[in-house]
Chains A and B, each alone.
Chain A
Amino acid sequence: MARSSVSPSRTWPTDGWTVADEILALDGICAGYLGEDVVHDVSVTIAEGEAVAVIGSNGAGKTSLFRAVCGLLATSSGRVRFGGADITGSKVHRIARAGLAYVPAERQLFPEMSVRDNLFLGSYPQRPDPERLELVFGLFPRLAERKRQHAGTMSGGEQQMLAVGRSLMTNPRLLMLDEPTTGLAPKLAAEAYAALAELRSHGLTVLVAEQNVPLALGLAERGYVLENGRIQLAGTSAELVGNPDVRRAYLGVS
């Protein structure tokens, strides 16, 4: 899969959002388990350098959608384009090597390996780039302090940092995070989002699935509301925060 820096011309209508510099485009994605779709006809476009949130309650299909994008869940219809190439049905490791990094809510670390080895594996098959490693350690000084500790013995917050750090070592063009605040205390959740905001300032494109709507919309420029596997609403973060339905369902304001 070539890493093309040339932005491709759009070949299909997406969600009506004008995107000059598309990096990820989902066109009518349906996906599910055992022949039963849980994601229905989802179309999303993300431009290079954007931060976008997918918000929705538990079981809305956020995780299934993300897994379908990165190849862990087969799509039953629709196309996924990443960096101008059609990656529908590609193998997970090929999609990862093409620069799409996915941080699952379960983190999927290597528990019996040190922090250092976990990070090194992010740059597989290349040798770890010292500059990237410095960037990760700069972002998460905790990881630098605990280089030798086994990933499995770390706290939830540290594991989340390591999962993000490892995905940064893959040198991603797009970082997809599924519920990065799962199991974190409010203070740690805010810290996690502060780190993501710093990554944004480095120009990284971020797509985040989140139940914690205030944090997600604080980071993202725009968002999609996913309910029962369908996109119910799309708009800028300001629009979504101002929407009465969103306020009632996700912000606890009536």
Chain B
Amino acid sequence: MPAERADPVVTGIGVATGFGYGKQALLDGLMSGRDIFTLLSRPGRANLSGQPPFIGIELADPPSVLPQRVARITGLTGQVGASVLHEAWHEAGLDDVDPERIGLIVGGSNLQGRAALEAHSAFAAGRRVVSPHLAYTMFDSDLCGLFTSLFPIRGLAQTVGAASASGAVAVLEAAEAVRSGRVDVCIAIGALQDVSAVELRAFQALGVLAEPEMLPGDACRPFDRQRRGFVFGEACAALVVSRTGEGYGRISGAHRASGNRGPEPSLDGERRVIALALQGAGVAATRIDYVNAHGTGTPLGDETEVAAIMASGLGHAWVNASKSLIGHGIAAAGALELAATLLQMRAGRLHPTRNLADPMDGPRFVRDEAVACEIRHALSLSFGFGGFDTAILVQAP
């Protein structure tokens, strides 16, 4: 039987952010506008001696969903991922679905920087024993092995990497796997990027990290004229993308390469994916009620995104930036922000954008207070180093 080409629907969501574990914690936290930024303190995230600590957000310990023997050999990325997958799985009722018809796409690459740093440091210091478990846990794809060993997923399982757009690309690939008929349900995960101090120093060297001298709560300020860069925030999201069901909304979208290597954003690339997403869904720009912006807080990134939003005829739409509240989850960001979009759509409210005291000209920003808004159509934008541009269009049920 030929595959139905209707856009798939999101039927389950699981999330973990600095606001806590679960959808309600995220929605409540986003609406509150509460400041949860602090100094990073996990082992492997200490800055060089004499340098200010890095600013960001770290998660509480995940709820225990792993057997003790599995937990021992599973890093933070896997433990948090298992927790959010558990939440999404049960909301979507996947126990009743044929495992052969369930797929998994994990978004993210080089996810376990802290674990790598720890192993490399011990080796460099002369320790002879390297854990044999590292021979497979070092691969990002070990997350596929972990999750498919915990849950009856027997269709496709793979990772996709697209830097800060990884989570969004995972969702789009999951949607395509469902749309094409390859599986009936595909779970997309925006994995927790467990960055190390070395990677944070690299972001600092590149000039894209907010200045550590700033107060933690003041540093992350997307679309504000005083923005200085992004602030890291641990996060993870799982979305169950299904052929049928009521769910949160139907999704479609576009993912294209801009041809840029490195951090440079592309106005043409961003405009192109927005146009393709609108065209693909048959939705005019004037019907978009809300844009969940990539909004990292980097000077050039935000400037380019504002230009893309305005040039795409979206000047009327509400715009907010979830990263202003939960930080930049890097690999997780695109999936997490799509989850935030769907939760806001269902709630009929849009969260504030923190620290937007002096906004850039152009878009209709949600500033310091949440606003009530019926959202029929929304866009979630994500872009990644290496020229990854994505736009996901959501249509309310």
Same assembly: no
Residues on B lying within 8 angstroms of A by beta carbon are none
